Amino acid sequence: EAQVTQNPRYLITVTGKKLTVTCSQNMNHEYMSWYRQDPGLGLRQIYYSMNVEVTDKGDVPEGYKVSRKEKRNFPLILESPSPNQTSLYFCASSLSGLSGGKLFFGSGTQLSVL
Amino acid sequence: AQSVTQLDSQVPVFEEAPVELRCNYSSSVSVYLFWYVQYPNQGLQLLLKYLSGSTLVKGINGFEAEFNKSQTSFHLRKPSVHISDTAEYFCAVSDSGNTPLVFGKGTRLSVIA
């Protein structure tokens, strides 16, 4: 089944403790992206990747890192999480991000930073 | 940079009534337009998209949207809603594939029995 898989589904952590949210897709998509969803603010893009080893900042990249060493994986890294990073995070992928293609979303990761 | 405005944050509507969810984008020569739906506790799913051609676009679950270039709008409509349509709906726009998608803040549709 074609899907984008995010883990974990829920995560509670404390300020400053490094964490990684994993994202994997099995559709051989070139484009992958991370969003955060906050009430009243909609989805805001954190980082995106057009292909392996190519990553770019989105609208809200501060405090986040990403890597794209393999086509299928696009982990989101919070080196030193802070409470303002408490949010619902979504990973998404598409065949090609800039051609009007359909975005496939993961089920989300609810992160709470205490 | 492209921007998207969803004019209503919440829309309550009775079952079997028609609904329109409004979306406006900042002007551009050529755009790609999308509507995504998010059911409770799920990720987003594509409802419909406009890339070119006919300005009336039909999507899944009986939804349709009309691209209006002069008004820079892409409103979503359904003639008769069901309880199962209760969800959050996001409008998104890209400058004809030259930029990543920009999402609106979402409209929460609540269908009342």
Of A42, A43, A100, the CB nearest to B97: A100
pLDDT value at A99 more than 70: no
Structure-token pair, residue A87: 């949010």
Of B42, B103, B106, the CB nearest to A107: B42
Q: Are B99 and A105 inside 8 Å of each other by CB?
A: no
Q: Give CA–CA dist A90/A20, Å, rounded.
A: 13
For chain A, what is the mean pLDDT?
94
Rounded average pLDDT over B65-72: 94
For A101-112, the pLDDT digits (tens) are 789 999 999 999
Rounded average pLDDT over A69-85: 97
Closest-CA residue of chain A to B4: A42
Residue B72 region, left (φ>0) first, then alpha (ψ -120 to 50), else beta? left
8-state DSSP, B51: S
Of A35, A40, A102, the CB nearest to B105: A40
Q: Give CA–CA dist B60/A86, Å, rounded.
A: 33
Residue A70 region, left (φ>0) first, then alpha (ψ -120 to 50), else beta? beta
Structure-token pair, residue B112: 């009342």
Closest CA relative to residue A68, chosen from A36, A33, A101:
A33
For B8-28, the pLDDT digits (tens) are 999 999 999 999 999 999 977
The alpha carbon of A92 is separated from its chain's Cα centroid by a whole number of angstroms, namely: 7
Rounded average pLDDT over A10-38: 96
Residues of chain A contacting B41 with CB distance shorter than 8 Å: 107-108
The alpha carbon of A66 is separated from its chain's Cα centroid by a whole number of angstroms, namely: 8
Q: Are A97 and B49 inside 8 Å of each other by CB?
A: no
What count of other Cβ atoms lies within 10 Å of the Cβ of residue B69? 13
Contact B44, A35 (CB under 8 A): no
Which residues, 6+ apart, have CB-to-CB distance to A1 below 8 Å? none
